[in-house]
Amino acid sequence: MSESPPTTPVCYRHPDRETYLRCSRCDRPICPDCMREAAVGHQCPDCVAEGRRSVRPARTAFGGGETGRHGYVTKVLIALNVAVMLLSIASDRGGDAAIGGSGFGGLLGGSTPLTNWGAVLGLAVFPDGTVGGVAAGEWYRVVTAMFLHYGVPHLLLNMWGLWVLGRTLEAALGPLRFLALYLIAGLGGNVAVYLFSPPNVPSAGASTAIFGLFAAIFVIMRRLGRDTSAIIPILVINLIFTFTVPNISVAGHLGGLVVGGLMALVLAYAPRGRRTLFQAAGGAILLVALLGAVLVRTPMLTG
């Protein structure tokens, strides 16, 4: 009785394809289309997927994901600010928003219907007799103001700062922690405007968040044991501009600086064993404190 001739192996995913290749992990036959590069030899798609599930994702020193190195959040924030600037220009009918307007050297620019709607404003009576501002219930202004700008030069200056600082901080903190830092710092600066600036003077710009990033990069670099000597002169120069250039919100810049620094301390010095919980609780406490400050200020303006 003659023996049956040996059969040629076929790919386990494509039974119609003969192959002599095998997965170096499970030894199943695989065709060239199913081969995946591995540290040793080639693996099948199933083994590659299993290996990814069993490998713990890499984390930064502060608990963030490695995807922060791509700077996705920084890029999205810049794109969002640019998009809002285009909407602001489109809302302006014959004004000076696009070219910078009548601000200091054209830096601050003119207002538009969109900036009038979304800038931080304590309380004011508009030309049509209506009353508006945070104290009048328009709480959204303390958030929307950080995405609005008075003219293109104002936008470009802030976006340059976001591009330079944001990518470094996002890589160190990870996307979610960086986004939380940015938003809380911007909110802190806008709340400071509400607390300490004249209630009928509007204020807008991403600089509240940018100053928070200045404070944060100093804290983060110190926590990592890196040299911060190059950061201090830039911060000092920005503070000099804050106090000497007309029409710049001193309260907004200093408020963003302080709140951003506090949030950075929470992120940088959270105990490793309970890091995420500590960071989330610290951010929540800052948010509650800012909310409380708005609640305390409002009766002072409306009473």
Confidence grade of residue 6 (pLDDT, cut at 50, 70, 90): low
The better pLDDT of the pair 24, 287 is held by 287
- Report the sign of the C-alpha dihedral through residues 71, 73, 167, 270, in that order: negative
The better pLDDT of the pair 112, 289 is held by 289
Q: How many residues does the chain have?
A: 303
Q: Got the DSSP string for 234-301?
A: HHHHHHHHHHHSTT--HHHHHHHHHHHHHHHHHHHS--GGGHHHHHHHHHHHHHHHHHHHHHHHHHHH
Mean pLDDT of the chain: 86
Instruction: List active site positions.
Output: 207, 253
Residues in contact with 274: Cβ distance below 8 Å, sequence separation at least 6, in sequence order: none
Confidence grade of residue 142 (pLDDT, cut at 50, 70, 90): very high
Distance CA 109, CA 85 (A): 12
Q: For residue 65, list its beta bridge partners.
A: 59
Q: For residue 124, list its beta bridge partners.
A: 132
Half-sphere exposure of 160 (CA within 13 A, CB side): 6
pTM reported for the whole predicted model = 0.78
Question: 44-99: per-residue pLDDT in tens?
Answer: 888 888 777 665 556 666 777 677 788 999 999 999 999 998 888 888 765 554 55
* Cβ-contact 83, 196 below 8 angstroms: no
Confidence grade of residue 102 (pLDDT, cut at 50, 70, 90): very low
Q: Domain residues of the chain, as ranges?
A: 1-55, 66-302
Percent of the chain scoring above 70 in pLDDT: 88
CATH of domain 66-302: 1.20.1540.10
Question: What's the gap between Cα 88 and its chain centre?
Answer: 21
- For the segment 189-206, the average pLDDT, to the nearest whole number, is 94
Q: Got the DSSP string for 36-99?
A: EE-SSSEE-HHHHHHHHHHSPPPB-TTS-BGGGGGTHHHHHHHHHHHHHHHHHHHH-SS-STTT
